[in-house]
Structure 1
Amino acid sequence: MCRVFVMFCLTLALLPVLTPASAVIAQGNAQPAATSNQIEYSVEVDFGQDRGQSLGSLFEVRDASGRLQAGAGFQDVYNTRFRTGRRTLQFFIRPDSGKDQLTLERLPHPDQGTGVYLTEFDGQLYSWSYAGNNSVRRWDAASEKWLAELPPGMQSMRSGDGTMRLGSGQLVFAENQAWYNGKQILAPPESGRYYNFYYAEGHLFFYHEQQEGEEYLTRILACPWTTDSKAAIDLSDATILTTKFPRETPFAWGQYGRQVLTVSNMGGMYVFENDAWKTVVEGLINTSYQVYSMLHWYDRVLLAQYPTGNLFEYQGKEPVQLQGWPPVLPGVSTAARESQTMALYRGELLVGVWPWAEMWRYERQTNSWRSLGRAFTHPELTDKQVHPYEQHTERYRLVLNHWGQRVTSLVPQGDSLY
């Protein structure tokens, strides 16, 4: 049960939009507060059993012109390696138009890794990188330092591992295993490895890679298990899909209604629904099609794609490319672009784009995108080459796009976006 009480000291046309993904509205009412320019609005929502579902929005408040002014809800996004805390409730009040500029402040670097990814658990911000064999740090805002500290209940964390609140407890999946409140519910495989876990729709999902001689086999498992389950996961109950290519791996998971989605690095888009897998997009060996982020947004799922650099939308059938979502920053090449990261912040959609670390913000009311600039100041923009520093990578015989610049993560926390 979720109860929300908010008082707005604004003169507004109150138009609440209640769009939780899978909730029953138990109560909603608006009452005049102590003064005439205050409105007190309460919402009570029953989400039912926690099956890992996207919880969605609680309400939106718009002014007489239809401009979004305030709101609250639960973001559910998976960015490249980790799912951001889906039970973290966001409240926001948007500043007036013209006063909504964002200020970029650089924090100390967590470690020596050049690819740092962020995640969140119980209101704490964590960084992860490959440096030092999967380095994990927690941001301590009081001391403004990164501390060598894993999320509670975790002894290590690889890419695609993680932890989440589920029901009244904590689910942990790491190093080929899973635990709920400290009790093991998934043992390591007899051969191969489990990786890139995701929990939704009462199932624990993960990839399983096995090797026999020089041959590899990759399968995706959907294992039924809920917090009411008395026993550990029984793999004989799993619904299994064998991927088209060996060693496929995902960069994102997502949900649409009762469907669970994953897209592999080979372009295969697989959907689990009604205890069955289906392939929505067929992977092709010589065609790049990768999805690096999935975000539950209104009545659809947004997918951040490479190499178009566009977002795609999914509403239960097949992904549809959204041309110009987001635009291309003037002065850079239009080739080989990657929308990598998405977030909801102050009620707006934000997207980070590789290879020039572009930041874009979308305003739904005006159907317009605004550039927030770049996360890096160097090198200067150019459309004479696709990626930054190509002349240097050629000189040192590196992969041509090796020094492309990324916005790897966007994590709202408090009044800031990290």
Structure 2
Amino acid sequence: MRDYLKFFTVVLSIASFQGAFADATTKDSSDGIVKRWISSSVDHWQTYSQSGSNGVHKFTESDNSFKIRKASPPSKNFRTGYTFIYNKSLYFEDLGNNISYKRNWLGSYKPVKLSSNSEYNAAGYNFEVDSYSGLISACPLSDDNECKVFNFQPGSYPYVYAQKEGSVLSITNYGEAILFKNGEWCRMSMRDDIYSCTNPELPILSVPRAIQFYSSINYQGRVLLGEWPTGRLYEFDGVELKPSNMTPPEIAKLSDKRLGYEAQTMAEYCGDLFVGYWPKGEVWRYDHLAREWQFFKRFFSDVEGEPFIPYSLRESDGLDSSFFGQRITAMVPFEGALYVTTSNLRAWTAADSAPATIDPSKVAEYGAIYKVTKPGCTTSYSYAKD
């Protein structure tokens, strides 16, 4: 009886998810079965920028497997890679050499003078930052009313934004959480890993908390944020930010050790949640049907005897010891694929050389671009509205 109830609960929760996002039907030409599209908005933040404008992801349930194919890079110097959407098109940004590339439908690249946008639009406001002065502004999009300005530690800057039910959360690289709700700002206090405005901290946070958040996503109605150094996922309900039960179990069981895991990127594709982790370029996938986490892939090669941060124990070469740590800097759903981009830590310029102790085939894994595909999954975007 207990197993039956468990099965019934899982089926009911899946049906509820599908019903909430059910869309038009499509016919599978192979077997004549009519399948229903399930759709959801693309709403995430990945380290440097917001998801593309008015994105909609659609998929049909199937038993098809995911396929992974490595795409050619836009340049031999493309190492500190990033991916973003602008005006319905896909761009790959070289953060080390300050150049971006637009990818066309043939798979070729065109150099362009464009970079990812750190501004954030949500809840009818545009959020802009002056990091030098330590100011964040919420400016109404629909009228000429004055912007609501709030201060934070000068020289720091927001690492992530998230929105839920009209509330917008911004968290700086110092770990300072700032909430914009009902047209007013609040500096959130942190107690027992829970951030709230119940007892707001009036002074600016001038010393880093050694806690950072890099990514956010609205997944099945839950707003999740990725954290460092535990790698846990937190949940924002519009009022509070607190640890979620959605963290991959293998990461969660190590969280008390604060090893330095960083949930840097999150994306939805085919109804599943993908989370990319520093420092080994690993991706975990939450199977929305099985309701469980599975290790998806490490997008770098394993090296026998490697430290927690790869190559961090190499001989001194003038670069940061963590320079060759491994990031999943972006996972962007676009058309029929999920584009995954890898990177090192910080800017790898054309003048920087990898030490001879790192095999050239391993060097080529930095700035790599992968296409993850599964039949019946597609994402579209529309032009941004002024």
TM-score by length of 1: 0.65
1:328–1:334: 8 Å Cα contact kept in structure 2?
no
Residue in 1 that maps onto 2:220: 298
Higher relative contact order (CA 8 A, sep 6+): 2
Q: Is contact 2:225–2:236 with CA below 8 Å preserved after alignment? A: yes
The answer for the alignment partner of 2:316 in structure 1 is 395
RMSD of aligned residue pairs (Cα, Å): 3.2
User: Which consecutive aligned stretches of 4+ in structure 1 deviate over 6 angstroms post-superposition?
Assistant: 13-16
* 1:386 positional shift: 2.2
Distance 1:288 1:364, change over 3 A: same
CA distance in 1, matches of 2:15, 2:45: 32
Choose which of 126, 131, 147 in structure 2 pairs with 1:238. Answer: 147
Structure 2 residue identity aligned to 1:342: M
Render the CA deviation track for 1:316-362: whole Å, top value 9, x for unaligned. Answer: 23222236712448xx9971110000000001100100000001100
Give ranges in structure 2 of 5+ residues lacking alignment. Answer: 1-13, 191-204, 340-386
In structure 1, what residue type is equivalent to 2:39? A
Please, which of 253, 265, 289 is the counterpart of residue 173 of structure 2?
Answer: 265
Per the alignment, do residues 204 and 101 of structure 1 end up closer, same or farther by CA in structure 2, a change over 3 Å counting?
Answer: closer
CA deviation profile, 1:115-150 (whole Å, cap 9, x unmatched): 111011343210112344x211101231x3221135
Question: Please, which of 352, 363, 385 is the counterpart of residue 276 of structure 2?
Answer: 352
Displacement, 1:242?
A: 0.8
- Tell me if 1:149 matches 2:112: yes
Instruction: Report how far residue 286 of structure 1 moved.
Output: 4.6
Q: Provide the C-alpha distance between the structure 2 equivalents of 1:254 and 1:381, rounded to a whole number of angstroms.
A: 38
Deviation at 1:246, TM superposition (A): 1.7
Gapped regions of structure 1 (runs ≥ 5): 1-12, 41-60, 62-69, 151-155, 162-195, 211-216
Q: Deviations over 1:358-391 (max 9, x none)?
A: 0110023433111112111153464xx3200012
1:313 aligns with 2:221: no
Q: What's 2:102 paired with?
A: 138
CA contact (8 A) 2:271 2:288 kept: no
> Deviation per CA, 1:133-182, whole angstroms, max 9, x where unpaired?
x211101231x3221135xxxxx43x5x2xxxxxxxxxxxxxxxxxxxxx
Corresponding residue for residue 205 of structure 1: 127
Q: Which residue does 1:46 correspond to in 2?
A: none
Amino acid at match of 2:220: Y
Q: Output the CA distance in 1 between the equivalents of 2:81 and 2:329.
A: 7
Are 2:314 and 1:406 equivalent residues in the alignment?
Answer: no
For normalisation by structure 2, the TM-score amounts to 0.70
Q: Which amino acid aligns with 2:174?
A: M
Distance (whole Å) between structure 2 residues aligned to residue 379 and residue 281 of structure 1: 42
2-structure distance, mates of 1:14, 1:354: 34
Q: Are the aligned partners of 2:130 and 2:136 in contact in 1 as well (CA < 8 Å)?
A: yes
Asked if 2 retains the 8 angstrom alpha-carbon contact of 1:137 and 1:147, the reply is yes
Q: Given that residues 280 and 326 in structure 2 are in contact (C-alpha distance below 8 angstroms), is that contact kept between their aligned partners in structure 1?
A: yes
Structure 1 position 248 matched with structure 2 position 156: yes
Once residues 111 and 208 of structure 2 are traced to their aligned partners in structure 1, the CA distance between those partners, rounded to angstroms, is: 41
Q: Do structure 1's residue 223 and structure 2's residue 139 form an aligned pair?
A: yes
- Does structure 1 residue 417 correspond to structure 2 residue 325? no
Aligned residue among 66, 72, 75 for 1:107: 72
Q: For 1:75-90, what aligned pairs fall within 5 Å after superposition?
A: 75-90=42-57
CA contact (8 A) 2:99 2:112 kept: no
TM superposition shift of 1:101 = 3.5
